A = this chain, B = another copy of it.
Amino acid sequence: MALPIIPPDRSLTYGLVESLGQLIVTGAYDTKPFPTEGELSRQHGTSRSVTREAVKMLTAKGLLQARPRQGTRVTPEARWNLLDPDVLRWLLERKFSLQLLAEFSEMRLAIEPAAAALAASRADHAAIGRIRDGLERMKAAGHGEDEPVAADIAFHTAVLAATGNRFYAQLDALINTALRISIRFTNRIKGRAAGIARHEEVLDAIAAGDPERAALAMRALVQEVLALIGTASAQTGAARKAARRAG
């Protein structure tokens, strides 16, 4: 299943949603008040209809709330819907932090091993085939015959889908986003973070119908990612300290 992360088109409304979403998550309105509808329309050169519809979409994602006479306000960050793919994408694109990525990976560490276990106990032949396809793509990518990140994502997506659980399946959009963007920002993580061998272990366990082994293999795989984030974080921390000493 292809996952359109990018909005259907680039209409004025969706463009404004993008712009405002990114502005909001960066904290651009933490100090100054959020503009009124009229103000927004003027600033972005859009009619009030477009402005209002964009604000309504951001309200649906938990980023804004509006009341007459009181104006539109940015919702406290704790109530943003982080599990909305757009919101997560804006945060990772515009306010990237290893901290956020670590928190997300920490959730993956709970979800994905469980997903692998479920897949091992339930996946039918076709579902296992799709996981195998993902692995084949990773191998092909190793020879430069496919896109490594896309192949990796395909593998994890196939495992999530093989659980037969709609909630697990939903997470693939988020993992997709996180993987793509984290690689854009931290080249440290892109390397050969989680080798093909590890992925193969996961597939083998699922194909063998061994939930426990599948969970362990997947856990090892995600843990490796988390560890890489940890070291990257420590290194930037050290770099900051060094900079302070030098400055």
Q: Which positions in A face B, CB cutoff 8 Å?
A: 1, 8-9, 13, 17, 49, 52-53, 56-61, 65, 67, 78, 81-86, 100, 103-104, 106-107, 109-111, 113-115, 118, 165-171
Contacts and interface: CB of A to CB of B under 8 A. Distances in A.
A119 B78 CA distance: 18
A168 B107 contact: yes
A167 B1 contact: no
Contact of A13 (B56, B85, B171): B56
Number of chain copies forming the complex: 2
A217 to B, nearest CB: 16
A107 B167 contact: yes
Nearest to A215: B110
Given A13-B56, A56-B53, A166-B103, A8 B110 contact: no
Given A53-B53, A165-B103, A82 B8 contact: no
A138 B56 CA distance: 38
Contacts of A59: 57
28 contacts: A1-B78, A8-B65, A49-B49, A53-B53, A53-B56, A56-B57, A56-B60, A58-B60, A60-B86, A78-B166, A78-B169, A82-B166, A82-B167, A82-B170, A83-B84, A83-B170, A83-B171, A84-B84, A103-B165, A106-B114, A106-B118, A106-B167, A106-B168, A107-B167, A107-B168, A110-B110, A110-B114, A111-B111
